[in-house]
Amino acid sequence: RDLHLDWMLSKKKPFIGSAMMDREGLIAPDRLELVGLIALDNRALNGGGHIVEELDEANPHDSLGHITACCYSPALGKYIA
Protein backbone atom coordinates (compact mmCIF):
# COMPACT_ATOMS: atom_id res chain seq x y z
CA ARG A 1 0.00 0.00 0.00
CA ASP A 2 2.96 2.30 0.55
CA LEU A 3 3.62 2.18 -3.19
CA HIS A 4 -0.03 2.95 -4.07
CA LEU A 5 -0.26 -0.05 -6.41
CA ASP A 6 -3.48 -1.46 -4.91
CA TRP A 7 -5.12 -1.26 -8.33
CA MET A 8 -2.88 -4.15 -9.44
CA LEU A 9 -4.18 -6.53 -6.76
CA SER A 10 -6.99 -8.97 -7.49
CA LYS A 11 -10.11 -8.55 -5.39
CA LYS A 12 -11.59 -11.82 -6.71
CA LYS A 13 -8.88 -14.44 -6.17
CA PRO A 14 -6.15 -15.01 -3.59
CA PHE A 15 -2.50 -14.24 -4.30
CA ILE A 16 0.80 -14.45 -2.44
CA GLY A 17 0.58 -11.87 0.31
CA SER A 18 -3.22 -11.42 0.17
CA ALA A 19 -3.58 -12.71 3.74
CA MET A 20 -1.25 -9.95 4.94
CA MET A 21 -3.11 -7.07 3.27
CA ASP A 22 -5.51 -6.38 6.14
CA ARG A 23 -3.30 -7.17 9.12
CA GLU A 24 -3.75 -4.53 11.80
CA GLY A 25 -0.05 -3.66 12.09
CA LEU A 26 0.27 -3.09 8.35
CA ILE A 27 -2.63 -0.64 8.05
CA ALA A 28 -2.27 1.26 11.34
CA PRO A 29 -2.13 5.03 10.69
CA ASP A 30 0.84 5.52 13.05
CA ARG A 31 3.05 2.74 11.60
CA LEU A 32 6.37 3.25 9.86
CA GLU A 33 5.87 4.00 6.18
CA LEU A 34 8.01 3.49 3.11
CA VAL A 35 8.76 6.80 1.37
CA GLY A 36 11.17 8.00 -1.30
CA LEU A 37 13.80 10.72 -0.96
CA ILE A 38 15.81 12.72 -3.47
CA ALA A 39 19.08 14.35 -2.40
CA LEU A 40 18.85 18.12 -2.95
CA ASP A 41 22.62 18.68 -3.02
CA ASN A 42 23.33 15.81 -5.46
CA ARG A 43 25.32 13.83 -2.87
CA ALA A 44 24.69 10.21 -1.92
CA LEU A 45 22.63 9.71 1.24
CA ASN A 46 24.09 7.32 3.81
CA GLY A 47 22.20 4.07 4.34
CA GLY A 48 21.27 3.75 8.01
CA GLY A 49 21.33 7.52 8.48
CA HIS A 50 18.52 9.00 10.56
CA ILE A 51 16.12 11.58 9.20
CA VAL A 52 15.48 14.49 11.55
CA GLU A 53 13.35 17.58 11.15
CA GLU A 54 16.19 19.98 11.91
CA LEU A 55 19.94 19.41 12.30
CA ASP A 56 21.11 20.58 15.71
CA GLU A 57 24.05 18.57 17.06
CA ALA A 58 23.92 20.26 20.47
CA ASN A 59 20.24 19.41 20.92
CA PRO A 60 19.38 16.24 18.95
CA HIS A 61 15.80 15.82 17.77
CA ASP A 62 13.75 12.66 17.59
CA SER A 63 14.34 10.54 14.52
CA LEU A 64 11.54 10.69 11.95
CA GLY A 65 12.90 7.55 10.30
CA HIS A 66 16.01 6.13 8.70
CA ILE A 67 17.45 5.50 5.25
CA THR A 68 17.48 1.84 4.29
CA ALA A 69 19.23 2.13 0.92
CA CYS A 70 20.56 4.72 -1.50
CA CYS A 71 21.51 4.57 -5.17
CA TYR A 72 22.05 6.82 -8.17
CA SER A 73 19.11 7.19 -10.56
CA PRO A 74 20.30 7.74 -14.14
CA ALA A 75 16.73 8.67 -15.13
CA LEU A 76 16.60 11.50 -12.56
CA GLY A 77 20.31 12.29 -12.61
CA LYS A 78 20.28 12.36 -8.80
CA TYR A 79 20.75 10.09 -5.80
CA ILE A 80 17.57 8.57 -4.42
CA ALA A 81 16.80 6.70 -1.23
Query: What local confidence, expressed as pLDDT, does residue 71 receive?
Result: 92
| Positions of the chain with pLDDT under 70 | 1
- Domain coordinates of the chain in residue numbers? 6-80
DSSP letters, 5-29, are: -GGGS-SSS--TTGGGTT-HHHH-T
Query: What local confidence, expressed as pLDDT, does residue 64 receive?
Result: 84
Query: What local confidence, expressed as pLDDT, does residue 1 receive?
Result: 65
Which residues in 11-77 belong to E strands, given as ranges? 50-51, 65-66, 71-73
Query: What local confidence, expressed as pLDDT, does residue 41 receive?
Result: 86
